[in-house]
Amino acid sequence: MVPGNYRITTKVMVSILFGLSAFILNFHAINFAQFVEFKASILLGLLFPLLISLAWGWKFGLLSALAGGCQSMWWLWRTDGYGVFYAVPVFTLWILWHGIWADYRKNKGPTVKWYHSMYVVELIFRIFSEAGFYTIFRWLVSFNPPPWNPDIIWNHVSYSWIHFVVIKHLVTAYILMLIAHVLLNIGPFRKFFMMPHKPGQKSTTFVVSAFLLLGIFLWIIDSVVVHYAFSQSTDSLLTAITSNISPRDLFVRNLFLLVCLVSGLLVSRFLAERHAANQKIRELNRDLELRVHQRTVQLEETNKELEDFVYSVSHDLRAPLRSISGFAEIINRRHKSFLNEEGQHYFDNIVKAGRQMGDLIDDLLKFSRLGRKAITSENVSLDDVFKTAIKTLSDEIQKTDGRINLPEQIPDIQGDVTLTTHIFINLLENALKYHQPNLPPVINVSFEMKNQDVVVSVADNGIGIAPEYHEKIFNIFQRLHSQEDYPGTGIGLASVKKAAHIMGGRVWVESEPGKGSVFKIRFLTATTAQTGKAGIRLNIDD
């Protein structure tokens, strides 16, 4: 950061220096185009106070204009006699006018409208200043000759001469503004003028400079072609390029340069707008990501609170329920004979409901404990997991006369051994439970590799599930059957889903009623898992 005082001193000095340079430069007018009856020259020095005005506003612009930038004309146009009192100050006003608008645009910032652009506000100035040439200037000239220069005897200006001057002013003003605009778009110039960095400054500088060079290149090419192919002059190539140029060629080459400058400005403006839009998108994305993160944290907290609640409720309900069930069973056993048949029936129901509620609470506790325990991420041998599961379910297998076919080899996965065992005990238990009446369950376990994951399938020949329930059955308490048909709590699959998610996996079902079901779980394979912590990966894409 440049300190404020130093900044102002620098600006004052540069403004004065620019003014003085401009003063000298104005004595070397540059021909823009030259015809027999028309010669348009540009007072290039005017560019200096204009640059100051556009970059730093009207105060510094005026200083630069008064320091010399717009004062050479007192000498240049002294032949106008009294006319200089209008012709010269009007240029200082021009610099002031653009400085005021530059300040206005700076203050307005992005809300600035197209009609605040210098090319548009210039028109207003032109109308008034040229009207002054038709009236005030002509009137002042009528007082000639002035006492300080009695040689000036002309005291009448023809309208045709004023028409010519007006056109010349218009053309030179726009050329000067265009050059200033181009320069103030180039990075190093902006830096010099301590102007703020524009969005996409690098590409703007690059494009504008490239088009400027293209204009110069076209100028040189045209000069070379004309010099070698069409010209009989004995000038050197350098002279043909820089000074001895025919009026027609001068006009054409300046046109090349102007078209290139305008194109450069337009392209760079388009790029800058695109850059700004991209920037905005990036900002919005960052904002969105942050909000998603905040929401996720909030959700996780709420989820945790809910799980804590479920855990403590089910935990606290267990003790009173146990005593209700226990005493009910004692009464049922010891004092059943005191009750009539109806009473015995009611008591049987109480005992049954007590047991059912006990199962429900146990399952709920297991479910909420799933996420509470520290989860490990290690190589888990599915072979061992299935052995444990089959051992745990040996009673059910025997009761249902079921068969479980395992593949010869199952790969290891990356995850938590307790959660994995929980998943397969639940899936195999369901496969054994939901078998077709009179058809012993046959369960086939298989696996397939998918990209870097392993998908394990547990397929049964059971009653199957209608497609509209394929997602719902993974919700807690979602059951499709009555207790009489198939006893259960509706928590098993919800806990399978939860366990799979904790390990960064996914579970789903493919099934049709009467045709069995295939439950599939996608795990990280042991060899490819990179993270040291389970549950880092939230979703696995198909």
CB of residue 434 to ligand ADP, shortest distance in Å: 3
Q: Is 230 exposed, middle or buried (0-12, 13-18, 19+ CB in 10 A)?
A: exposed
Candidates 47-55, 220-228, 280-288, 483-491 — which segment interacts with ligand ADP by CB under 6 A?
483-491
> Per CB under 6 A, does 473 bind ligand ADP?
yes
- Measured CA to CA, the distance from residue 31 to residue 37 in angstroms comes to 14
Amino acid symbol at 375: I
CB of residue 426 to ligand ADP, shortest distance in Å: 6
CB of residue 491 to ligand ADP, shortest distance in Å: 6
Give 261 or 496: the residue with its C-beta nearer to ligand ADP: 496
Give 250 or 518: the residue with its C-beta nearer to ligand ADP: 518
Tokens of 246: 């025919």
Q: Which of 47, 52, 493, 534 binds ligand ADP (CB under 6 A)?
A: 493
Q: Which of 489, 499, 503, 523 binds ligand ADP (CB under 6 A)?
A: 489
- Measured CA to CA, the distance from residue 5 to residue 15 in angstroms comes to 15
CB of residue 321 to ligand ADP, shortest distance in Å: 18
Do residues 324 and 361 lie in contact, with contact meaning Cβ atoms separated by under 8 Å? no
> What are the Cα distances from residue 158, in Å, to 80, 138, 155?
13, 9, 10
- Measured from the Cβ of residue 160, the count of other Cβ atoms closer than 10 Å reads 8
> What are the Cα distances from residue 93, in Å, to 63, 74, 83, 129, 178?
12, 15, 16, 9, 19
Q: Which of 218, 480, 502, 526 binds ligand ADP (CB under 6 A)?
A: 480
DSSP 3-state of 246: coil
Give 194 or 466: the residue with its C-beta nearer to ligand ADP: 466
Q: Which of 116, 355, 479, 537 binds ligand ADP (CB under 6 A)?
A: 479
- Measured from the Cβ of residue 298, the count of other Cβ atoms closer than 10 Å reads 10
Cα 227–chain centre separation: 53
Q: Which of 145, 247, 411, 490 binds ligand ADP (CB under 6 A)?
A: 490
Give 267 or 390: the residue with its C-beta nearer to ligand ADP: 390
- Measured CA to CA, the distance from residue 262 to residue 268 in angstroms comes to 10
CB of residue 336 to ligand ADP, shortest distance in Å: 30
> Per CB under 6 A, does 358 bind ligand ADP?
no
Tokens of 13: 């000095």
CB of residue 415 to ligand ADP, shortest distance in Å: 20
Give 386 or 434: the residue with its C-beta nearer to ligand ADP: 434
Do residues 472 and 478 lie in contact, with contact meaning Cβ atoms separated by under 8 Å? yes
Tokens of 374: 């520290």
Amino acid symbol at 517: S
CB of residue 473 to ligand ADP, shortest distance in Å: 4
- Measured CA to CA, the distance from residue 52 to residue 18 in angstroms comes to 8
Give 223 or 517: the residue with its C-beta nearer to ligand ADP: 517
Give 286 or 515: the residue with its C-beta nearer to ligand ADP: 515
Q: Which of 517, 522, 523, 524 binds ligand ADP (CB under 6 A)?
A: 517
- Measured CA to CA, the distance from residue 450 to residue 48 in angstroms comes to 69
Question: DSSP characters for 166-215?
Answer: HHHHHHHHHHHHHHHHHHTTSHHHHHHTTPPPPTTHHHHHHHHHHHHHHH
CB of residue 310 to ligand ADP, shortest distance in Å: 16
Give 25 or 493: the residue with its C-beta nearer to ligand ADP: 493
Q: Which of 42, 431, 459, 534 binds ligand ADP (CB under 6 A)?
A: 431
Give 174 or 508: the residue with its C-beta nearer to ligand ADP: 508
Dihedrals phi, psi of 448, to nearest 5 degrees: -145, 150
- Measured CA to CA, the distance from residue 99 to residue 95 in angstroms comes to 6
> Per CB under 6 A, does 355 bind ligand ADP?
no
Do residues 445 and 456 lie in contact, with contact meaning Cβ atoms separated by under 8 Å? yes
Candidates 43-51, 178-186, 319-327, 479-487 — which segment interacts with ligand ADP by CB under 6 A?
479-487
> What are the Cα distances from residue 289, in Å, to 292, 298, 299, 538?
5, 14, 15, 16
> What are the Cα distances from residue 331, in Å, to 128, 324, 350?
112, 11, 11
Give 189 or 486: the residue with its C-beta nearer to ligand ADP: 486
Give 198 or 522: the residue with its C-beta nearer to ligand ADP: 522
Give 7 or 515: the residue with its C-beta nearer to ligand ADP: 515
Do residues 505 and 523 lie in contact, with contact meaning Cβ atoms separated by under 8 Å? yes
Q: Is 236 exposed, middle or buried (0-12, 13-18, 19+ CB in 10 A)?
A: exposed
CB of residue 287 to ligand ADP, shortest distance in Å: 40
x/- letters, 432..471, toward ligand ADP (CB under 6 A): --x-------------------------x-xx-x------
CB of residue 364 to ligand ADP, shortest distance in Å: 12
Candidates 115-123, 231-239, 334-342, 490-498 — which segment interacts with ligand ADP by CB under 6 A?
490-498
Q: Which of 488, 506, 520, 534 binds ligand ADP (CB under 6 A)?
A: 488
Summarize as ranges the residues that interact with ligand ADP (CB under 6 A): 430-431, 434, 460, 462-463, 465, 473, 478-481, 488-494, 517
